[in-house]
Chains A and B, each alone.
Chain A
Amino acid sequence: MASIAGMQICLLAGPRSIHQRSGTSINHGLKTSVSFWRTIAPRLQPVLPQLRIACAAKPETVEKVSAIVRKQLALPDDSAVTGESSFSALGADSLDTVEIVMGLEEAFNISVEEESAQNISTVQEAADLIEKLVEKQKA
């Protein structure tokens, strides 16, 4: 189950990188400097950061996170809260986001650092961060 979810996320990340490369080759005529760079340094594209954080969180962690989010935002039980739903799309303002992070801290008995807390915007990111912190705690 976890591997299937992981594979889905990796597949999602894959086509994005392919589109990136085809995009720059289509813009060939716009600026000569772009084509110049492409001939000199073909490996210039940086590795997309999203590719690294993929394939991480377990489904039950995502489920727990969704339950906490649902309770915090007072959503009905049948509303769609998936890994990709962002907090602002579900109707949370910034204080709600901080409160959700605090609720996750309490539920999973972890402590989230300042910088990592700023970047959480979707349920999936929150679940990944939790997994990483739980791993670090166990080690």
Chain B
Amino acid sequence: MAFTLRGLKVSPNSASLEEARSRVFDFFKTACRSIPSIMEIYNLHDVVTVSQLRSTIASEIRKNAHIDNPKVIDLLLFKGMEELGNITEHAKQRHHILGQYVLGKQGLVQDSSTKDEGISPFLKSFYETNYF
């Protein structure tokens, strides 16, 4: 099932936008408070700091900030809790965490050496999106 170790915190649908908003903040606080243990599990101490992870989580939440349907927000929170649960119970691996939450959005093909500068911009944005 979705939650094995984290206690099942899914409650019936939020009555209003305000309740959904407070649930989002509770989720954010839970996530922030589990960051130190996440860094311990995946050995991220040399790679990233706590505040960087915190701002990554905040930007992920902010991506959906425009939504105003409480049911949609509930579903997004459910998925967020599931993801957080997976990460904290070590169901993921270090490269998952690094790729999803640590590396920036510059795309995975970087200009690392002189021969790469000839690569077309098509290939550079290949991993990002189909539409540009």
Contact = CB atoms under 8 A, between A and B. Distances in A.
Interface of A: 71, 94-96, 98-99, 102-103, 105-106
Nearest to A96: B58
Contacts of B28: 95, 98-99, 102
20 contacts: A71-B51, A94-B21, A95-B24, A95-B25, A95-B28, A95-B58, A95-B61, A95-B62, A99-B32, A99-B54, A99-B55, A102-B28, A102-B29, A102-B32, A102-B54, A103-B51, A105-B32, A105-B33, A106-B32, A106-B54
Interface in B16-72: 21, 24-25, 28-29, 32-33, 50-51, 54-55, 58, 61-62, 65
Interface residues of B, number: 15
B58 A99 contact: yes
Q: 7 closest Cβ contacts across the A-B interface? A: A102-B32, A98-B25, A99-B58, A98-B28, A106-B50, A95-B58, A102-B54
